[in-house]
């Protein structure tokens, strides 16, 4: 029988290099998070029951996310959200959400392994992202809770802004692009982590 600990996250091979970044930039994969894609009419009858399950209403302001303490709900489109949840909670949460939705038109899809999540923090985080991302991540333009789907260099990426000083971000990247993403990140940080 395979050992469940044999699970391998997309950036397992990059952990040492990410760890070696320090000072202005800290980067760390948050592996195996539960991620569910939710499609739903936010004005429909299933919205409230879903909010009860999540402990928070689905955000309807474009490019925002809300957290309930347990779940982080990312707005991806007018009828689409990505729910981040603790590792291992996908089966129960899927069932709970589908029960809440009942026969309403919706879709809940487990996409936990579709993307991996990287926490990027530190005083150099915004400058590092600015090397490859056209979005204005200045706190004045992207306050805490902002959530954008954009490009970082040549890979699609979701960015969640986690504080009001642009020093803490969650980055979600498609698993097959994760190594490119990590290689880009490490390369981009050269000037930010070495003494000038």
Partner 1 sequence: MTRVAAGGRIDRNTELAFTFDGKAYRGYAGDTLASALLANGVHQVATSICYGRPRGIMAAGVEDANALVQIETPFPEPMLTATTVELYDGLVARGLQGQGRLADLPDQARYDAMHEHCDVLVVGAGPSGLMSALTAARAGARVVLLDDQPELGGSLLASRNQLAEWVSAVTSELNSLATVRVLRRTTAFGYYDDGFVLALEKRTDHLGAAAPPAAARQRIWRIRARQVILATGAHERPVVFADNDRPGIMLAGAGRAYLNRYGVLGGNRVVVFTTNDSAYTAALDLADAGAAVTVVDARTEIPQHPAAECARRGVALKAGHVVTGTSGNGRVTGAHIAPYADGKAGARQGIGCDLLLVSGGWNPTVHLFSQARGKLRYDESLGAFVPGSSVKAVRVAGSAAGVFTLSGCLSGAADAAVAALQELGLSSAPPALPSLDAEPETTPGLVLWAVPDKGDESGPCRRFVDFQRDSTVADILRATGAGLTSVEHVKRYTTIGTAHDQGKTSGMIASGIMAEALSTDKHQVEVASLGTTTFRPPYASVAFAALAGRDRGEIFDPVRVTEIHPWHLEHGAVFENVGQWKRPRYYPQRSAAGSIEDIDTAVLRECRTTRESVGMMDGSTLGKINVQGSDAGEFLDRLYTNLMSTLKPGFIRYGAMCGMDGMIIDDGTVARVSDTEFVLTTTTGNAAMILDWMEEFAQTEWPELRVNLTSVTEQWVTIALVGPRSRDVLASVAAELDLSNEAFGFMTWRDASVAGIEARICRISFSGELAYELNVNAWDGLALWEALIEAGKPYGITPYGTETMHVLRAEKGYPIIGQDTDGTVTPQDLGMGWVVSKKKLDFIGKRSFSRAENQRPDRKQLVGLLPVDRTVLLDEGAQVLATADLSQLPVPMLGHVTSSYRSAALDGTFALALVRAGRERIGQRLHAWQDGELVSVTVTDPVLYDKEGARRDG
Residues that bind partner 1 (CB under 8 A): 1-4, 6-10, 13, 31-32, 37, 39, 105-115, 127, 130-136, 138, 140-141, 153-155, 174-177, 179-180, 183-184, 187-188, 190-191, 194, 196
119 Cβ partners below 8 Å, 6+ apart? 26, 27, 28, 30, 168, 169, 170, 171
CB 28 → partner 1: shortest distance, Å? 17
CB 194 → partner 1: shortest distance, Å? 4
Q: Which residue number, 55 or 151, has a Cβ lying nearer to partner 1?
A: 151
Contact by Cβ (8 Å): 143, 161: yes
Distance CA 192, CA 188 (A): 8
Contact by Cβ (8 Å): 117, 33: yes
Distance CA 72, CA 56 (A): 9
CB 174 → partner 1: shortest distance, Å? 6
Q: Which residue number, 31 or 49, has a Cβ lying nearer to partner 1?
A: 31
CB 49 → partner 1: shortest distance, Å? 18
Distance CA 3, CA 131 (A): 40
CB 71 → partner 1: shortest distance, Å? 18
Q: Which residue number, 3 or 69, has a Cβ lying nearer to partner 1?
A: 3
Q: Which residue number, 71 or 184, has a Cβ lying nearer to partner 1?
A: 184
Helix (H) or strand (E) holding 174: strand 168-174
CB 187 → partner 1: shortest distance, Å? 6
Write the burial class of residue 26 (CB in 10 Å: 0-12 exposed, 13-18 middle, 19+ buried): buried
Q: Which residue number, 10 or 122, has a Cβ lying nearer to partner 1?
A: 10
Q: Which residue number, 55 or 176, has a Cβ lying nearer to partner 1?
A: 176
């Amino acid at each position: 029988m395979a050992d469940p600990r044999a699970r391998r996250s997309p950036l397992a091979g990059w952990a040492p290099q990410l760890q070696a970044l320090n000072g202005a930039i800290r980067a760390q994969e948050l592996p195996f998070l539960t991620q569910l894609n939710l499609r739903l009419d936010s004005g429909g009858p299933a919205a409230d029951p879903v909010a009860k399950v999540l402990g928070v209403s689905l955000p309807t302001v474009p490019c925002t996310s809300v957290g309930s303490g347990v779940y982080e709900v990312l707005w991806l489109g007018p009828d689409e959200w990505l729910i981040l949840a603790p590792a291992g909670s996908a089966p129960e949460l899927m069932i709970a959400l589908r029960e809440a939705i009942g026969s309403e038109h919706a879709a809940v899809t487990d996409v936990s392994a579709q993307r991996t999540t990287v926490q990027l923090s530190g005083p150099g985080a915004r400058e590092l992202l600015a090397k490859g991302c056209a979005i204005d991540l200045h706190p004045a333009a992207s306050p805490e809770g902002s959530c954008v789907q954009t490009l970082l260099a040549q890979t699609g990426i979701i960015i969640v802004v986690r504080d009001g000083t642009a020093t803490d971000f969650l980055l979600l990247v498609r698993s097959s692009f994760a190594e490119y993403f990590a290689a880009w990140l490490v390369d981009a940080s050269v000037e930010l982590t070495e003494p000038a």
